[in-house]
Chain A
């Protein structure tokens, strides 16, 4: 079946560097994407979302880029901080199918070294 996946399962960066977490998706009908952050022992926390009619969306220290041609999504974190250490999941939804079925990717563990 179609799924959302990630290129890198782990990423280690130095504090202050920029981080880039990648995600590949295969469902060409997906039109809504979300990045979640999950810290140890906690539930996933919304970071930023993007709809398929956009290529880029910026938040506070985070930017999501969407390349529909190659079905690729990325999360950029500027000036990474130790508090950014967590597992990051991309998730996708095909609103033409069901608004409720959010499919999560495998996750990337981000470790920020002081």
Chain B
């Protein structure tokens, strides 16, 4: 079982809807990530939060808005999405800091998003 929990597992939304994806981890990790994965493709990095501050934004359209309320939670707010945004959205976390032992990312099961 993954220690990174994502909700909802499935989401169907229209192009005018506003919805949010949620991610939670209790491993004490201080870095959290959002990845987007299209079918039969590798995960693509979207955002990275380090110590609850946005560290990396990979030129993601503003219709995707990340939020990190605290060190355990990561949200991705969705508004005015396009059908091509349909994908599996993966959350991940990792250890952080100069004493980081491993670069391993722990992934959640993902939220499968369908935009109609």
Contact = CB atoms under 8 A, between A and B. Distances in A.
Interface string B49-65: 01000011000000000
Sorting the interface of chain A by its residue count into under 10, 10 to 19, 20 to 34 or 35 or more gives: 20 to 34
Contacts of B100: 99
A95 B101 CA distance: 12
Contacts, number: 58
Nearest to B97: A99
Interface magnitude class on chain B? 20 to 34
A107 B33 CA distance: 20
25 contacts: A32-B103, A34-B103, A34-B104, A36-B107, A42-B109, A43-B4, A43-B107, A43-B109, A44-B90, A46-B106, A49-B102, A49-B103, A89-B42, A93-B103, A99-B31, A99-B100, A100-B33, A100-B50, A101-B45, A101-B48, A101-B56, A102-B45, A102-B103, A104-B43, A107-B41
Interface of A: 32, 34, 36, 41-46, 49, 89, 93, 95, 98-102, 104-107
